[in-house]
Chains A and B, each alone.
Chain A
């Protein structure tokens, strides 16, 4: 079972204010006055963690590539976060911490970012890391090949290196999430000397035998079996990492992943790879630590195609909200993991919640009410009791969605709607839903990436292009569009919250999309591992991890 998406998943955001108090950093809003981050405070551990040992980190499939600059694949990020460094990293409270950038200043107009790069950093092949590498990485790799960062680089007017340890990024317009987005997953620093003049970046051998500045260096990648890394002795953070080796076995069969952890064969299983059906059993193990809920908020929902005659009226869509047993979907399709959808934005961002927007009060499960709403919408019953036939499209590789579809089919049958479940492969699903909009209902999920403006607007905003992972319902409301546009540029969180509450009230009433549940991540680590779960992304910061005896 995989969560969020099968192949590509961007856990760390394109930036933005998160619930936990980055309010001043809303997109397009000027950032807080020139901030200087403190150099990496070597939080001295009294005795020092034990050194040595091998940690085994489960993955579900081969990385796309180990050139982290050209992919947003989850497994690539898993390995890549240990091989490379970004300029910054993000801690569990969404705090931005220095990595290859030792410190930085931001000009008063919030357009010029000047980074002081760490000195004495070397690539795994021994060559020094300099600002020229950074400039090259942004201009020639991220700006051209990274699925998300190419848009980020477009916001940059210039990327300059006045000296070997200084990087100056000048933005076209202020863009506060910039720093957040310079993490290793979206802006890993890559070695210029291995790419410059070496032809096609995508086919560069460094994608198979990567060279980074990260705490671990590449040893071996046996396709379909495992990736192996070893401690980089000359890592810039002296004394780190603590572990000798990292091994990433590839275990495609979901049920086997939990077993590997139980038997001690593996030490770490991230939520993304975890079969939910195993959570209960693994929770009982006294050999494992469990960590819930560190990640950016994400919602799981059912889009309803407004172009479908039976779904054209809001009463019909409300009827479906009354009929679908969302609690049962969480219990049975999701093994009880997840928080029931509270409203159009879920409940991941506490600051924009409002008592007036609460599905549990607005749409408690009520079959009779649903039927009367269908009557009101003119979706009348035929002689055999059938009111409509709808196609529910799901990605066949996402087992919880296939199961949820069965439950929804059963729920809607009670109100006279016959559902045909179309479990198709992801490539086909994307075409049916987003390109052709040849569907009636579909189960999808979006990750917020730290701010509703980045991750959630796209679900409701008027969308005419047929691009994947956008609003495919055809729903269009200029009032909502206006509220979103304003919220995106409003710096004050309280004022933003008011705008979002207003938008949510409209959306909860017009119901273009029914939010089923909020993601609730569950990660498992062997109790022998110390120092895990140090970053907002569980894949990051493995330089602090050690094995206790």
Chain B
């Protein structure tokens, strides 16, 4: 099977063994049903154990699974009347970010998200979901439009990060991200952000200044990729596994650090195993979020968002401080 993950290997081997035994039982007269049943119980137990004890690195693997559902997969299942809108009106249209207007259970909304490809060809077209400044500027244009027409905004976060390239720097990658953070802070409509895959650094945060931030159970959100962290910390990118454990990048970690609101449960083994079911899980949390936020008026939403981010962080005070100046 394509995209089997490292930690799933024992499961796969066991499954293979069971099917082999079944095949063998069919062709011979030997009764193996007791044996098969035993192995199936063991498989069940092993599956439960494996998926209940995922390490951060296992989750990174699931979040990066080539078949992991993307923004467009969820848009198709959660919204109706979706009309994709293109372009930043300054430079171009960045396919690494998609956005447009749609209806959510009949409610007009604006929906925006990073967009990866699932095969090489689409990945090249979408730049592996790594936006240029025009992507962020398109997103901002759509958010401002949403605010004008008083529509809630839903953002799906799924990127390794903003694209590091010459053209991106020339066109002001920093400014584009910064401006999104700045303007999102002032939006007078509800903003709900959902991390569906990898939430990589500033490039993810540029769609992430929401009233509520939710994460799929096996998604990640971090200041730098595990590989990047390993390269800087231990000068060795192959230590990514260790960095993933150290950096606290999983949904349970972020919940504990007070960054996110809710963890959206995933289908066992990862969202890619049942996209329809996964969309339903998202639907439950998204509906609850919007219902709550729609009670607040514009000014209250801005204050709510500011307070949310203002409380993030840990610090303390020295009791006796000899003033330097």
Decide if A and B are genuine partners. no
